[in-house]
Structure 1
Amino acid sequence: MKRLSMICLFLLVWAGTMFAQTLKSPDGNLTLQFRLSAEGTPVYSLQYKGKDVIKESKLGFSVRPDYQFDRNFTVTDTQTSESNTTWKPVWGQYSEIRDHHNELFIAMKQNGTGWLLNLRFRLFNDGLGFRYEFPVQKELRHFTVNEEETEFRLTGDHKAFWLPGDYDTNEYPTTTSKLSEVASLIDSVRQEPLAIRSATPNLAVQSPLMLKSAEGLYINIHEAALVNYPAMQLNLDDKGFVLSTHLTPDRNGTKAYVQTGSVTPWRTIVVSDDARDILASNLILNLNEPCKLADTSWIHPTKYVGVWWEYFTGQGSTWAYTDTQDIVIGKTDYTKLKPNGHHGANTAHVKEYIDFAAKHGFDAVLVEGWNEGWEDNYAYSKEFIYDFDKPYPDFDVAELQRYAQEKGVKIIMHHETTSSVADYERQMHDAFRFMNKYGYDAVKTGYVGGIIPRSEHHDGQWMVNHYLRVAKTAAQYKIMVNSHEAVRPTGLCRTYPNWIAQESARGTEFESFKGNRPDHTTILPFTRLMGGPMDYTPGIFEGDLSQYGSNQAKLSTTLVKQLALYVTMYSPLQMAADLYQSYEKHLDAFQFIKDVAVDWDNTYILEAEPGDYITIARKAKGKNEWYIGGITDENAREAVIDLSFLPEGKKYEATIYADGKKADWRTNPQDYVISTKKVSSKTMLKQRLAPSGGVAISIKELE
């Protein structure tokens, strides 16, 4: 009898482990292996050119009240397929994108409960995407998630470029260390002064997470198509180097509310032995659905200036019209209040920026602080803060519309919510109708502070739905959206291309807080920008803010590096962020900002190493013009710029904006030289970059 029991146990284990499936990428370099363990747990692994990238890692969920939806599965169906198509983005780094992948679909049934769970894997030449799918079923309709149990078992103590796990902010500086060092560093990193912080209770980091193995493999872990689901943090077991999913909860601890018939976001792993391939990857875009807007003719990449940087420089310019603090929205009569005399968003001053934009060929002017309510904008516990259709008395919205239209310039609306999100949703349609009435076609939204409803986090499921709701509602009014302090992007700009940019990271404004390091912008393209374009707001020429007044901050780059960022920090929405007076002092260097495109036919990653340097070339959309940006960290270096991407047999003229011989971000950031050179596809340029310096090049075909 005992022998019979042992035989039965052996057969049970054998049956549970007998299912296994292998999938290859189209070029054969990547291999996915999937199987069920002896316990019926789905597990996967990933290899690149025969090297382990992800060791065998489990998949599944823990659901409420306390049930493991990650074991006792039987495979009921499998399907494989190949797709090789191309599609044209409305705007982007490429005019056409290839989507070539092999797919493995796994249908599973849990023994005992009868619950169904599907897995879909897509293997591209540059990485893997996989997601969970919950088919409609009688046995299961609605459930809540305690945790998603997805694992990423790494092969060793990789070099990591990380932000501490946090439910409410992405604005920490990036720390570079071994994974084993995160635990000893994370508490000090979390001391960073930010508007709001909600640290994970355990050791965790954020995605996108950039890694480099000792064997020279570059690995990027993130997610794609984040819809109706919380954003993913990554738990870190620094001893075993195991990452696991940590979903952002609400303040009651619930991770996700799920209805069957839905899917999760894709979990993405981009991998290569060449760092340039990470920056060239379109895997996350390819995992998003095609554009859902029938008419996209009104969506246009934009270059803009604005009433913005002056608020940070120490000159005393303010968002608020008055110093009075006792403001009740809808009841306070601003015409009876004494102006503070420092309000930046006044009619005469905005006209100065409109004049500057028109003179230099810019598309638009952003104006912050135009609407009632800024006196209480730091009252994070206050729900009713702003009116989004009531301008201050000194902001003549009708006159400014007339004046801007006469000059051929648009004004960009600003909706800072101070995270009073419920109130913003109440006002959203009125606000967009107000924009339509006065000719605005783009809005910058902001979410500083703690979320109201007070049970929610910036990266939780409720807010994820809100950000997308804003983009979809704005599309009804033909309005483009640039969201700040929002969840990290996951490629949804393909599906809703009016969601034209996001901040969602530590941007240029932190330069005024003495807060960015020289390596910062050599890391962001490998992390934050993996999911979509960033409104980084480059172009600061005056590197010493003490020139303006009380602010003692100094820029972390040379002036030329600021030019190069227009190429290396991709966005279809690019701001010349400095005061216009700074540009008038350096019109020769400003010419590059005027010339550089914001929409592209093609992109060429020439050099790249995360945290050290990046050199990128791009071809302007519909023009025989190319622009190159090269940047370095605190170390000077020589950039080697291969122009073989230029069409053969033709001659070109390159205008080179370079760091001067004495340029240094600490001592002489404004030292630059401009030269011209005849070049061809056979030209190899070698250019010295100063410490935290750069090079910017424009190339035009000679007649």
Structure 2
Amino acid sequence: MKRFVSVCILLCFAVWGTIKAQVLTSPDGNVSLDFRLLSDGTPVYSLQYKGREVIKESRMGFLVSPEFVFCKDFEQIEERTGEADTVWHPVLGQYRDIRDHHKELFVALRQKDTGWLLNIRFRLFDDGLGFRYEFPVQEDLRNFTLKEEVTEFRLTGDHKAFWLPGDYDTNEYPTTTSLLSEVAFLTDSVRQEPLAVKSFTPDLAVQTPLMLKSADGLYINIHEAALVDYPAMQLNLDDKSFCLSAHLTPDKNGAKGFMQTGNVTPWRTIVVSDDARDILASNLILNLNEPCKLEDTSWIHPVKYVGVWWEYFTGQGSTWAYTKNQDIVIGKTDYTKEMPNGTHAANTAHVKEYIDFASRNGFDAVLVEGWNEGWEANFAYVKEHIYSFTRPYPDFDVSELQRYAAEKKVKIIMHHETTSSVCDYERQMEDAFRFMSEHGYDAVKTGYVGPIIPRSEHHDGQWMVNHYLRVVKMAAKYKAMVNSHEAVRPTGLCRTYPNWIAQESARGTEFESFKGNRPDHTTILPFTRLMGGPMDYTPGIFEGDLSVYGSNKAKLSTTLVKQLALYVTMYSPLQMAADLYTNYEKYPDAFQFIKDVAVDWDDTYILEAEPGDYITIARKAKGKDEWYVGGITDENSREATIDLSFLPRGKNYRAVIYADGEKADWRTTPKDYVIFSKKVNSKTVLKQRLAPSGGVAVSIKPM
């Protein structure tokens, strides 16, 4: 059901004066928005939650290149309000049904001297606000270049922040927790993190999604939704006034965005509550995206997979490359005449081992990295033509593996690493997806390690934002699902293009084999990175001491049970059992949870949550009378409270509980765990100790 009320007001002023604020309240009355024009025609908005100020009066608008101010001297020429209340059903997701209930305020503005038109659309939900700018088609303004977006988020104080430093090319920094006033002092040290590519913002800035907590207990999340044909937004930080302002990712010539009237910006989003659980439960960002644009979605499905992947990071000597020859020329080098290096892992026999393991244990697919020609120069960032996406190495028999996988009822996941030579990937892209279709692949992992080619572009700029979507659309043409790595952080577009099944776009498990992740890392990511969409975090590492393999001395930052719990707390319809399959064979009782746990859901219940400290989540498996619970903590031990009141009343269930052992500790005894079962029902409240950086995982099925 949709209800719309329209009011048109023509406001004409002989002398500038402050226009009376338009006030919009959320359906439940807890959130309120004020919008008005200041005496100089500057549009401003403010936001309140339960009568408490969230965002103080903040400016809106743009600066247009070369030196034109498009953020003041406006008059309002129209106003419309409305309300919508609908329910939609995601193809894959945390909920079977998602309600979109919001009120809307639309204002049309005209700049007094130029006559240029700008519209602003606000949507107010029970859990926050989304707003965007719209550039109507008009006679005197057609194509233009953005110098900056003026949008501000004026905060009420020195909030606690969970932040990444402003950067145009990577979101793989560890999250830092501090007061906003401490960001400037800490930024330089955070930027020392060794990453494949870094491009710092010139001024003090942080990335979105930005999670904040005020001193008086308000939780605030700032991000964007529906990022299409526009640069990603960073946030400039004034650490004296605590004002955040939009900082659009430029190209290397300084242009922020190339616009044409008739288009809109992404939504700027503010999710707010006095309960951290509401932040994780929010569907505001998804609701601000357009409905699914694919006519047929029957081929899109959840995936649980294993792969030829982790062994590259463990220090055993496995390589992506087939030879040691560094003078490969794609399309000219005859690999059959090259001497194999003897360490190439993506070979037919080894992949068959993973296919057999997947088939025995009910997994859907096997990811294979390093199957194609070109990996000898995979970190040659100055080389434009690096890979072939249709030519396998001599020891990777595509046709035989297609036959063998089909016989075992397992799919192989394609891998397209570009080393950020994006122009070359675009030249080969249709051939690459046609090759996938011809050989039975229905999913691809894309990668963008390193500086972008064309060399004028950044990972988060407008050109690359458009590229990621071009890949998703091309994949849909060939009925393939996409898992993007090193791409711009997601903004809910998985609703519009549900074949965009997952992204990395943050610091994932692979960093456990480098410098490592802190124990609080996965208690923060659901409040930051995952606000925009599902993440391919690649959990499930059982052997946390990588020194057992030889050269790598890294140690995992979690207990084994916490690795199990991540399958529930880190939402994704694409979940990997990331460890070597031989390690799962050593711990079959713990591995049972990974085999059982669902990856697509009917409902989700946020039981406990505090960013940076702990999360406990329960989920109902899609179309099944089964529930799974995951609870995790940071470096501190705690007792999780698991209230099972979400279970159907009057029915008994068997809960299998995977828990940290009495001596479990991520630093010393991460593999100490116990498994036990008990009868439960909707009246049961489980109390379970979590070790330092530990967890609990629960499988609940009918008796």
TM-score computed with the length of structure 2 as normaliser: 0.98
C-alpha separation between the residues in 2 aligned to 1:628 and 1:538? 16
SS in structure 2 opposite 1:451?
coil
Residues 14 and 38, structure 1, Cα contact 8 Å, conserved in 2: no
Q: Give yes or no for the alignment of 1:352 onto 2:353.
A: yes
Whole-Å separation in 1 of the counterparts to 2:19 and 2:487: 45
C-alpha distance in 2 between matches for 1:507 and 1:655: 28
Q: Output the aligned Cα RMSD.
A: 0.8
1:66 paired with 2:73, answer no
Aligned to 1:174: 175
Cross-structure match for 1:462? 463
Aligned length: 692
Give the letter for the 2:272 counterpart: V
Aligned partner of residue 617 in structure 2, secondary structure: strand
Which runs of 5 or more structure 2 residues have no equivalent in the other structure?
A: 1-11
Look up the match of 1:385: 386
Residues 120-139 of structure 1 mapped to structure 2, 5 A cutoff = 120-139=121-140
Contact map agreement 1:514 1:554 (CA 8 A) in 2: no
Q: Which secondary structure does the structure 1 equivalent of 2:699 belong to?
A: strand
1:72-91 correspondence to structure 2 within 5 Å: 72-91=73-92
d(CA) in 2 for partners of 1:675 and 1:520?
28
Q: Does 1:165 align with 2:166?
A: yes
The sequence identity of aligned pairs, in percent, is 81
| Partners of 1:432 and 1:161 in 2: CA distance | 38
In the alignment, the residues of structure 2 paired with residue 38 and residue 200 of structure 1 have an alpha-carbon distance, to the nearest angstrom, of 33
Match of 2:201 in 1: 200
Residue in structure 2 matched with residue 4 of structure 1 by the alignment = none
Please show how residues 197-236 of structure 1 align to structure 2 within 5 Å.
Answer: 197-236=198-237
CA distance in 2, matches of 1:14, 1:563: 66
Cα distance in structure 2, aligned partners of 1:128 and 1:640: 31
Secondary structure of 2:292 counterpart: coil
**1:459 Cα shift?**
0.0
After TM superposition, give the deviation of residue 68 of structure 1 in Å: 0.5
Q: How far apart are the structure 2 equivalents of 1:650 and 1:672?
A: 29
User: What is the aligned partner in structure 2 of residue 23 from structure 1?
Assistant: 24
How far apart are the structure 1 equivalents of 2:15 and 2:597? 62
Deviation at 1:18, TM superposition (A): 2.5
Partner SS, residue 35 of structure 2: strand
Q: Secondary structure at the match of 1:16?
A: coil
- 1:283 maps to amino acid: L
Report how far residue 19 of structure 1 moved. Answer: 3.3
**1:34-433 alignment runs, 5 A limit:** 34-433=35-434
Shift, 1:15, TM fit: 4.4
Please say if residues 16 and 41 of structure 2, whose CA atoms lie closer than 8 Å, have aligned partners that are also in contact. Answer: no
**Contact 1:81–1:103 under 8 Å retained in 2:** yes
Cα distance between partner residues in 1 of 2:349 and 2:154 = 59
| In 2: Cα distance, 1:213 partner to 1:437 partner | 54
Deviating 4+ runs (over 6 angstroms):
11-14
Partner of 1:674: 675
Give the secondary-structure state (helix, strand or coil) at the position aligned to 2:664: coil
* Structure 1 Cα separation of the partners of residues 160 and 40 of structure 2: 33
Distance 2:397 2:347 in 1: 8
Q: Deviations over 1:203-233 (max 9, x none)?
A: 0000000000000000000000000000000
Residues in 1 aligned to 2:17 and 2:655: alpha-carbon distance in whole angstroms: 64
Structure-2 residue corresponding to 1:452: 453
The one-letter code matched in structure 2 to 1:474 is A
Partner of 1:608, secondary structure, is: strand
- What's 2:8 paired with? none
Q: Provide the C-alpha distance between the structure 1 equivalents of 2:548 and 2:439, rounded to a whole number of angstroms.
A: 37
Q: Compute the displacement of 1:16 (Å).
A: 2.8
SS in 2 for 1:262: coil
**Counterpart Cα distance in 2 of 1:35 and 1:437:** 57
User: Are 1:664 and 2:694 matched, yes or no?
Assistant: no
The aligned counterpart of 1:540 is: 541
1:13–1:38 contact (8 Å) kept in structure 2 = no
Q: 1:632-689, CA deviations, whole angstroms, 9 ceiling, x for partnerless residues?
A: 0000000001000001000000000000000000000000000000000000000000
Partner amino acid for 1:303? K
Q: 2:453 aligns to what SS in structure 1?
A: coil
SS at match of 2:593: helix
What amino acid does structure 1 have at the position aligned with 2:52?
A: K
CA distance in 1, matches of 2:432, 2:618: 39
| C-alpha distance in 1 between matches for 2:485 and 2:65 | 33
Report deviation, 1:12.
Answer: 7.1
Alignment of 1:613-692 (within 5 A): 613-692=614-693
Q: Which runs of 5+ in 1 are unaligned?
A: 1-10
Distance 1:13 1:128 in 2: 33
Post-superposition offset of 1:515? 2.1
Rounded Cα–Cα distance in structure 1 between residues aligned with 2:417 and 2:13? 60
Measured in 2, the distance between the counterparts of 1:363 and 1:425 equals 29
1:14 positional shift: 7.3
Deviations 1:128-164 (A, max 9, x none): 0000000000010010000000000000000000000
For 1:54, the aligned partner's letter is I
Q: Secondary structure of 1:17's match?
A: coil
> Which amino acid is 1:175 matched to?
T
Structure 2: how far apart are the matches of 1:522 and 1:691? 13
Write the distance in 1 (CA, Å) between the matches of 2:324 and 2:405.
29
AA aligned opposite 1:684: V
Query: C-alpha separation between the residues in 1 aligned to 2:198 and 2:277?
Result: 33
Deviations 1:13-38 (A, max 9, x none): 97431232000000000010000001
Cα deviation for residue 101 of structure 1 reads 0.1
Q: Determine the structure 1 residue equivalent to 2:579.
A: 578
Which SS does the other structure have where 2:17 is aligned?
Answer: helix
Is the contact between residue 16 and residue 40 of structure 2 (CA under 8 Å) also seen in structure 1?
no
Structure 1 residues 691 and 14, CA gap change in structure 2 (3 angstroms): farther
**Partners in 2 of 1:650 and 1:508 — Cα distance?**
38
**Do 2:516 and 2:556's aligned partners in 1 also have CA atoms closer than 8 Å?**
no
Could you tell me whether the CA contact under 8 Å between 2:634 and 2:693 is conserved in 1?
yes
What residue identity is the alignment partner of 2:126?
A: N
The DSSP-based 3-state class of the residue aligned with 2:472 is helix
Partner-residue secondary structure (3-state), 1:688: strand
Counterpart CA distance in 2 for 1:450 and 1:331 is: 25
Letter of the 1:273 counterpart: D
8 Å CA contact 2:523–2:634 kept in 1: the answer is: yes
The answer for the alignment partner of 2:4 in structure 1 is: none
2:475 and 2:195 map into 1 onto residues whose CA distance is 29
Contact 2:545 2:554 in 1 (8 A): yes
Amino acid at match of 2:381: Y
